[in-house]
Homo-oligomer: A and B are copies of this chain.
Amino acid sequence: MSNDHLTRELASFAANLKASDIPSDVMSRAEDLLVDWFGSAIAGKGSRPVEIITQFAQSMGSFDSSHAGPSEIVISRKSSSPFLAAMANAAASHVVEQDDVHNGSVFHPATVVFPPALACAQAIGASGEELLVAAVVGYEVGIRVGEFLGRSHYKVFHTTGTAGTFAAAAAVGRLLKLTPAQMLHAFGSAGTQSAGVWEFLRDAADSKQLHTAHAAATGLMSAYIAQAGFTGAEHILEGKQGLAAGMSSDADPSKLVDRLGSRWTLAETSFKYHSSCRHTHPAADALLHVMLTNKLKPSDIAKVETLVHQGAIDVLGPVTNPATVHQSKFSMGTVLALVAYYQFAGLQEFDAHFKDDAICLFRDRVTMTLDPEVDSAYPQRWIGKVKVHLNNGQILDGRVDEPKGDPGNTLSRAEITDKAMRLAAFSGGASPVEMSKAIDHLWNIRKQAKIGFLLQNN
């Protein structure tokens, strides 16, 4: 493999990766991420932008009960083609902002990897193991492309949308057993469809759901047409008129192949635990730790001083009296109050309680103080520190070195199951019985010769 063609090297890795090349803890983490993704996808049911894209995808495919498609649309219980099902499921997976994130690439892999991979796997009758290998390929490729495109790219472009086409193409390409040459062509077609800019944030517009839908669908298409002989640029990422030339000023080609086969970026991916801004998570976990260790009730606590990095003060500082559910997710006080009362700040807790008197009273007794140790460790480490002042005058120190969900403090399978169950209950996308059955199936996916549908079709 020549060093001067890094995209080809990445494509060859993607085409050649086998289950036996992947450490068993990485395969097992892929299962964790799959179940976690499924919860986020189901949680999208009922969201306006998600329902609009789903309706569009369904109407453009002419699949109905008498004319079933091979791939499942999880929020509507309909079926469609892999292309249109991937589009709908990817739109659904990102909207409650509970899907996973890779810190170094600022990239959300699950939402652009699992929808196209599942849709293709269902259509071709792939095994559970093949799905997991494809997912690993999608994560390893997408995250490396995100790291390659760099911080300058992220200033304007939504990396999950742009690098997402590669992640989807790689995962689907692996399922379709593309040759290395075909995989490189698939990357070429994926990259020349890479899109998505942040401008929508200014208007709180719906584009984020479109970005994931677009990346999943166009990435899947890129792999399918590559299988049929469609060619793409061989240096789509690093070429003179490639993506980096157009969309980045600090692209680092070495990132594309960084320790391929020994560094598993999938295992670096964080789960989101609380449904709030990530800057609140370290302190929330530290408070919970103090309360559980000391068997405290909320009423025992007079005030909480959080010791934070400057970024937390910048982002959360302005939010003192949140008016909406969304805004309350950026209130350190609200998050800590919910954790104090419910041990968890999830979608339901925010929806039902962010304005409760008890929550608001607790909220107003939470402060933030810049802490030199926490600040200097950031962003490599997100340390959580709190000083909990009790009504009896005692002051208890709490600390966590990694917030819940980061690789060093990951979720247990019980917690992942529980999170997915909560997300389904929140949206009403599946009953507890249906959800349990589907999650059980997913925890055992490696043994399945064919994946089948996860939920009963309408």
Contact = CB atoms under 8 A, between A and B. Distances in A.
A189 interface: yes
A282 interface: no
A172 interface: no
A196 B200 contact: no
A60 B48 contact: no
A201 interface: yes
Nearest to A231: B205
Interface string A199-239: 11111011100110010001001001100111111111001
A189 B185 CA distance: 27
B67 A83 contact: no
B81 A200 contact: no
A457 to B, nearest CB: 15
Contact of A228 (B56, B189, B230, B241): B56
A369 interface: no
A192 B200 CA distance: 9
A210 B230 contact: yes
A188 B193 CA distance: 17
A195 interface: yes
Contacts of A192: 161, 195-197, 199-200, 207, 210-211
A211 B84 CA distance: 19
A310 to B, nearest CB: 23
A229 B243 CA distance: 32
B203 A56 contact: no
A62 B60 contact: no
A237 to B, nearest CB: 9
A245 B156 contact: yes
A311 interface: no
Given A52-B228, A188-B200, A243-B197, A233 B205 contact: yes
Contact of A61 (B62, B155, B161, B210): B62
A206 B231 contact: yes
Nearest to A155: B241
Interface string A234-261: 1110011111011100000000000000
Contacts of A44: none
A339 to B, nearest CB: 33
A62 B52 contact: no
A82 interface: yes
Contacts of A234: 202-203, 205
A52 B210 contact: no
Nearest to A248: B246
B62 A200 contact: no
B210 A193 contact: yes
A63 interface: yes
Interface of A: 48-49, 52-53, 55-56, 59-63, 67, 69, 81-84, 155-157, 161, 185, 188-189, 191-203, 205-207, 210-211, 214, 218, 221, 224-225, 228-236, 239-243, 245-247
6 contacts: A56-B224, A62-B63, A188-B199, A199-B239, A203-B233, A203-B235
Given A203-B233, A207-B233, 4 more contacts: A191-B197, A199-B245, A202-B239, A214-B218
